[in-house]
Copies of this chain bind each other. A is one copy, B any other.
Amino acid sequence: MSTIRAAREAAQSLSSKVQTALEGLIWSGALPPGARLNEVTLARQLGVSRGPVREAARALERTGLVTVILNRGAFVRTLTIDEAMQIYELNSVLFGSAAARLAVACTGEQAMTLRAVVEQMDQRIAGGDPEGFFAGNIVFHEQIMAFSGNAAMEAVYLDHTRKLLLMRRRSFDRSGSMAEANAEHRRLLDSILAGDASLARQQAEQHTRSGRARFLTAIAYKDGGPRVGTAAEKNAATI
């Protein structure tokens, strides 16, 4: 029956598979920000026709990964710092709301799950596994959103976090950031378990802001610093 499940999952439309492939190409940098998605080239590379490629591109447009211009095609979206800041603010509100909700309605099982994730992240920090920590970090936030019980909020959070993830991976290069972030996770979890909704909301929002700060620091390191400051005119610098 495992084969049945496999066959069932394999039976998704070509567009979906193409969409996943395109996400991978964007992720890996093979399609850098600003690049145009040439329909015939991509179709040939992926061994499909232009139709599925077009549908996948339009789907990616709705998720915000690309923008399409009439008669000119789809371009990999370049997120400005301003847009990233706005997404952080949005995520802050959503994550804070979810934490507050969870503080008054957290089950024992959920608490154990969250504790386990935090423990695991600590181990991965100690073991020098930044990729593992990164994955655990995502799980922690997504679990809290999922446990909050509002599917609409969760979907919005996931959508926007994915956009940020396109560039955020580098934010945790320094091990100090990871320990700092996980300490915040632990404090937030304590507040939730204590049932203090107001404190949990505040800590969740603060944690998101800290993540934003870590992200900006990483950007500054990467780009050499001065640019972030000088480009403040429009903050149009792509990341």
Q: Could you say which residues of chain B place their CB within 8 Å of the CB of A106?
A: none
Q: Could you say which residues of chain B place their CB within 8 Å of the CB of A150?
A: 86, 89-90
User: Does A3 sit at the interface, judged by CB under 8 A?
Assistant: no
| Interface segment out of the listed A132-140, A151-159, A175-183 | A151-159
Q: Could you say which residues of chain B place their CB within 8 Å of the CB of A156?
A: 90, 156
B152-A90 in contact (CB<8A): yes
Question: How many angstroms from the CA of A90 to the CA of B90 in the assembled complex?
Answer: 11
Question: How many angstroms from the CA of A24 to the CA of B90 in the assembled complex?
Answer: 30
User: Does A59 sit at the interface, judged by CB under 8 A?
Assistant: yes
User: Does A115 sit at the interface, judged by CB under 8 A?
Assistant: no
Partner of A59 from B62, B83, B90, B153 at Cβ < 8 Å? B62
Task: Decide: A86 near B151, CB < 8 A? Known: A54-B55, A55-B55, A94-B93.
Answer: yes
Closest to A87 in B: B152
Partner of A153 from B13, B70, B86, B152 at Cβ < 8 Å? B86
Question: How many angstroms from the CA of A103 to the CA of B173 in the assembled complex?
Answer: 38
Interface residues in A130-168 (C-beta closer than 8 Å to B): 150-153, 156, 160
